[in-house]
Structure 1
Amino acid sequence: MKGIKKWSGSLCQVPGQRRELHTSQTGLQHNGLQFAYFDANTKNLTYWNMSSETLYSQENPLAYTLAKLFARRKSPDIAYVTYNDQPFTGEEEPAKEPHGHHGKEYAHSKGILMADATSGMWLVHSTPQFPVNVHMGEFNMTRTARKNGQYFMCLTIPAIEVDVIAELLLIQSVIVNHKYGPDRVVKKYPHLQALIRGKPIPPTTDVKIAPIKGINRTIFTAIAKPPRWKKDIYTHVITEQAKSDIWVQSWRRPMFGWLYPVCDRNYSVKDVELLRFNFNSTSYLEYSYLNDHSKFAVAVNTSLFCFSSLNRGSTQFQRGGELLCRYNESVAGLFRRTVAKVEACNATDPSGKPRPPTVPGGTTTTKKPRQRPTTSRKPFVTWTTRKPAIKPTKTRPTTPTRRTTTKPVTTKSTRKPTTIRTKKTAKPKTQKTIKTKRPRPNKKYWE
């Protein structure tokens, strides 16, 4: 491949210093710098292989593959886009959505697509703010990546697959952070050219599933969820692809719309509670899903494994997203052994509240339907029927009696009764007494 380094593999980063981490390996440091790794050349996937490099090293697989992206000079032979729903905005903590995109329909996806005239590279990952910047002269990784577990999956592809992937990115409405496209390269890839120039495609309500062939003839399945397809993709798509029950690891929080396990369909969907990375028969690293920001799904009874950009939560229904899946028993078996505990079918949410009735389709959430506030006021209709018939009957008999008692004031308005006139006649007396209390000026006036 001209200019782009070849690498197809997966990298799983270990979370940083946390009390919830449990390990039996004395050489493992809880600083968020170490990672486990495997690629196409890894023969044995019984256990995870810890790399001797660190996540911030200039010699790790990511730095090696993305060398042209971080070089000081842009290459005239390479086009690229980096996309991230939490890009670097000048502040590393906390990672935020870009201005103007909060709550909008766009992709919850992170990745990099690079291509030259003969081939390409697609990296999907879960790390916010990565890359911080491009063409800085050296590989850079944000400090926020050290806090939680992250996942990177890289695929080297032939040229024919580049524009297929670019179309999938357009379907899910990714947020492009860095882009560069020499004309002599992008003219071969119309969808990549549209992505670089910011030209969207007509929105769709259908999930796009496309086979992707790697450079070594490995077959993957790429899935693009458009924002207008508002369902749980694990329940409605991944189970049908796997033809099996699945386990899902994702960044779950009640604020993102808690989804319960699905056990009322042909295939169940259960969420991961505890992860355990085995390095050999005696050493391991174990931690809660709360410390892992990665997203993946693995079939229980078949060989499907999917790396995902989508969390399992109701707020993700209105977001675009992507999944890169592969049928491989060695990879699926490695991740099945990494799952130490999953939720039961009758699991409750973290608050301990009783579970609401299951909605068909497995989209039961903790959110309650909106209800109008109840008040003790009577309806408006009863108020209108109460007064009109009574008000005229009270006013008509009283008006003649008031007019007969005050004949000298027949020219005055009948709205005010005679009591008002008596008050007016009484006012001069009170005014005189008030004026007489004043000293000399009043005496002179009356004299």
Structure 2
Amino acid sequence: MAAPSSLLLAILLWVPAETLTCIGDSGKPVDWFVIYKLPKKCDDGSAVPDRSVLPNGLSYKYLDAKSKDWQDGVGTIREPKGALALTLAPLYQNNKSQIAFLLYNDQPPPLTGKTNGQSGHSKGVVLLDLDEGFWLVHSVPKFPPHTSNPAFSWPSNAQCYGQTLFCVTFPSSQFHDIGKQLSYIYPLVYDKDLKIIEDNLPELVAVAKGQRVQREPWKRSVNLISKAGATFQSFAKASNFKDDLYSGWVAEALGSDLQVQFWRRKTMPPSCSGQYHVSDVINIEFPGGPSYRSTKDHSKWAVASTSTKTWVCVSDLNRSYGGYLRGGGALCTQIRNLFNSFKSLVKMVQPCPHPVHPSS
């Protein structure tokens, strides 16, 4: 048997034994984390402001339950001792017989070719054993690499734009509902091995086989409880829902106006006619920098417009007319430090015209 690469060996030595959870930048298991990969100045002319210190498109900000605010990541996004490499390390071990996994991406790695355009506009990783696991929701094309690769790596195409990765640790019982949510989204699964859980979690097995919801209702929401007891609300819509995820459903369900960050190209105007308004984030600014326009950021997230609600969501879909016709979802929570940290990024929004709310 060939010796593992030095990168893989470094990862395996750093991962705590007998854990299948989100692993933080500290190298220890965490209930959840968010990685925000920062954009860089690109050769295509889509440059962020000169004052931004973005040397290589691999820098990131990090946040977890113990963080008060965004902090600099450990090295670059591909750092073997960073949260992302540590969390995904089990996928690239030689012996994967004791884990189950499902990798999905509407823009899969080159090994598997291109999507047919009918799948959900969603990207993520489900990794678990019989006791626990995690759901990683992200916005990165062609990621992560197929498990036949020798080690975790970051795709070269994902350096120019901002990206988010949201990992939550769940007990195995919660993956029944996670599987049901994915059946609405209809993700493009490009790598999988569910043998150890196929008798216990038929919902995930069905998703891996390409099955999806065939009849109304075309949307579903459910509360998910993390390993540490935090509450998350998952929203999932099928392509037949044919409405904007945010203004057509999530804002009303959460009872809150929303400010939505997404890749703003061919976008819809702010949604201002209903009880709850949805506006677009057009400028982002991290404490201490960088500051840039949302056209430089592929991440998809939303925050409540006021601090009384504290809702924050990491999601799959852009606010565009194309999003009407694709499956996708959002994972939302009212965790205070998560809300405060995302809310602090909103430098400018495209507002609704006056009056701010319709008269009652």
Give the equivalent residue in structure 2 for 1:259: 268
Q: Would you say 1:274 and 2:266 are equivalent positions?
A: no
Contact 1:119 1:162 in 2 (8 A): no
Give the equivalent residue in structure 1 for 2:13: none
Which residues of 2 match residues 180-329 of structure 1 at below 5 A?
180-182=193-195, 184-254=196-266, 258-278=267-287, 283-301=288-306, 302-329=309-336
Contact 2:170 2:225 in 1 (8 A): yes
Tell me the TM-score normalized by structure 1.
Answer: 0.69
Give the equivalent residue in structure 1 for 2:56: 31
Contact 2:184 2:218 in 1 (8 A): no
* 1:303 alignment partner, SS class: coil
Contact 1:133 1:140 in 2 (8 A): no
Give the equivalent residue in structure 2 for 1:355: none
Contact 1:79 1:115 in 2 (8 A): yes
Give the equivalent residue in structure 1 for 2:75: 53
Cα offset for 1:202? 2.8
Where does structure 1 differ by over 6 angstroms across 4 or more consecutive aligned residues? Answer: none
Contact 1:171 1:204 in 2 (8 A): no
Higher helix share: 1
Cα offset for 1:132? 2.5
Which residues of 2 match residues 49-198 of structure 1 at below 5 A?
49-71=71-93, 73-90=94-111, 97-98=114-115, 101-102=116-117, 104=118, 106-182=119-195, 184-198=196-210
* 1:68 alignment partner, SS class: helix
Amino acid at match of 1:211: N
Alignment RMSD: 2.0
Contact 1:250 1:294 in 2 (8 A): yes
Distance 1:237 1:198, change over 3 A: closer
Give the equivalent residue in structure 2 for 1:423: none
Cα offset for 1:153? 0.1
Deviation sequence 1:347-403 (CA, Å, 0-9, x none) = 9xxxxxxxxxxxxxxxxxxxxxxxxxxxxxxxxxxxxxxxxxxxxxxxxxxxxxxxx
Distance of 2:75 and 2:105 partners within structure 1: 25
Higher strand share: 2
Deviation sequence 1:62-95 (CA, Å, 0-9, x none) = 1101111122x2411111110000112259xxxx
Contact 2:136 2:167 in 1 (8 A): yes
Distance of 2:340 and 2:19 partners within structure 1: 35
Cα offset for 1:3? 5.1
Distance of 2:216 and 2:191 partners within structure 1: 25
Amino acid at match of 1:15: P
Contact 1:11 1:38 in 2 (8 A): yes
Contact 2:121 2:317 in 1 (8 A): yes
Deviation sequence 1:101-153 (CA, Å, 0-9, x none) = 13x3x210000001111112100000000013214232111111101000000
Q: How many residues align?
A: 325
Contact 2:92 2:149 in 1 (8 A): yes
Q: Greater relative contact order (Cα 8 A, min sep 6): structure 1 or 2?
A: 2
Amino acid at match of 1:119: E
Distance 1:241 1:327, change over 3 A: farther
Distance of 2:99 and 2:74 partners within structure 1: 30
Distance of 2:19 and 2:197 partners within structure 1: 13
Compare CA radii of gyration and give the structure with the larger one.
Answer: 1
Distance 1:235 1:200, change over 3 A: closer
Q: What runs of 5+ residues in structure 2 fail to find an aligned partner?
A: 1-16, 24-31, 355-360
Contact 1:252 1:290 in 2 (8 A): yes
